[in-house]
Structure 1
């Protein structure tokens, strides 16, 4: 049974609300990412190509498509359920690719025939262990044109444990003031999704993939760890251009 547009819309809308619990000023962070992409592509001839890494149900891809309708967006994820929600609800926003970021040959699955202008990601790359992340950064640097960028919006704490605790507190207080914590959480969303008949096959496939690949257990790297790995991987410049608490937008220039 295929996934209907009405069902996809319902679950994407619930996803958008629950994600507000976790990303401080989430909409502003999306806007900053789009600002960067617009800045580096302005004045260039042809259609810019952007890869969205760990696209989930298409939250960032859809916003970029609305902001930059002239761009070609390739959206990548390994979760079959979230990817299908994106394909159905945001069908025209991107070309969707089912692959595991960091696995051998994953960049070939993107089917690119020219260099990228940008790679973007939100709250996805922190799941990768340091060795895999370094390899992914190197592969992305090789895919990007000179002057192209990697833009990553994620939770990247300071190195110092005390400052990391303070940054986390700042973010939580902000979320409380914005009443973001009234929404259902991650676990509740997945529990509710399990009761949706149209999602049953996708959830079963998701379970099979998780059992074969194991669970994510990478330690959270700091902001400076990411900057260091980016510079070691072929990016000329790297640093945060936006930050609230430990929520950051990091830009790395090829």
Structure 2
């Protein structure tokens, strides 16, 4: 458990390099879920691309009555989450977007919210649309899909500005002082306690063709895909630079 704690803490720091005002983004996502699930005795939440459980842990702290299902395809990060944040969620190993991935979740009732942060940007557009459609089918009427990620604006000059603003913000808050993504993984590969998990991760990524890409879809494109998937109500609720929280609300029954 000490090993998991140390690596999760290092993960939290290195992620600050990539998510502008990461903690505020988490807080906003949790605010939305809190509002959307108000009055429900045991809301069911799905955390997509959960990594080591960062968002699930924050949701569990705010909403201790919630049932959280956290899904990822990375065996090493999942095991860190299961060990360090064991009480926060039920962790599921499956590849988002692959055939049958929603069946692996083992859901027995409709979702009250689905959340994600810095995870869905790697899905190719057709897979993302299918994922949004499947999530719409899993959510109860009035439930929310909340996605915190980097969403560049639709116009290139604006995208340059938002990227610059975010970069300057990270510099002011010290995010770039932490180790980067590659350094974290290089160090994790040298830890003998993680050797088996790391080997399993490498084998799995090789089977997927080398890992995730970065589709870099704009806010407008995500909103269009969400509406195509059946979400009529889509809006950003927070933004700093190109870091934003996008919310889609499933129609109430009869609307």
- TM-score by length of structure 2 reads 0.97
Q: For residues 42-81 of structure 1, what are the structure 2 equivalents within 5 Å?
A: 42-44=38-40, 46-81=41-76
Deviations 1:89-124 (A, max 9, x none): 000000000000000000001101110000000000
2:29 is aligned with 1:33: yes
- Residue 100 of structure 2 is matched in structure 1 by 105
Distance 1:168 1:159 in 2: 13
Distance 2:121 2:17 in 1: 17
- Residue 245 of structure 1 is matched in structure 2 by 241
1:226 to 222, 227, 236: 222
Distance 1:77 1:192 in 2: 21
Moved over 4 A (4+): none
- Residue 147 of structure 1 is matched in structure 2 by 142
- Residue 202 of structure 1 is matched in structure 2 by 197
> How far off is 1:162 after superposition?
1.2
1:212 to 207, 212, 226: 207
- Residue 156 of structure 2 is matched in structure 1 by 161
Distance 2:60 2:214 in 1: 31
1:135 to 123, 130, 133: 130
Moved more, 131-140 or 156-165: 156-165
2:115 to 97, 117, 120: 120
Deviations 1:23-49 (A, max 9, x none): 1110000000000000011123x3000
> How far off is 1:87 after superposition?
0.2
- Residue 12 of structure 1 is matched in structure 2 by 8
SS of 1:101's equivalent? Answer: coil
Distance 1:225 1:239 in 2: 12
> How far off is 1:217 after superposition?
2.8
Distance 2:205 2:189 in 1: 16
> How far off is 1:165 after superposition?
1.0
In the comparison of the two structures, how many residue pairs are matched?
249
> How far off is 1:236 after superposition?
2.0
> How far off is 1:219 after superposition?
2.4
> How far off is 1:218 after superposition?
4.4
- TM-score by length of structure 1 reads 0.97
2:173 to 165, 178, 193: 178
| CA distance 1:205–1:133, shift in 2 (3 Å) | same
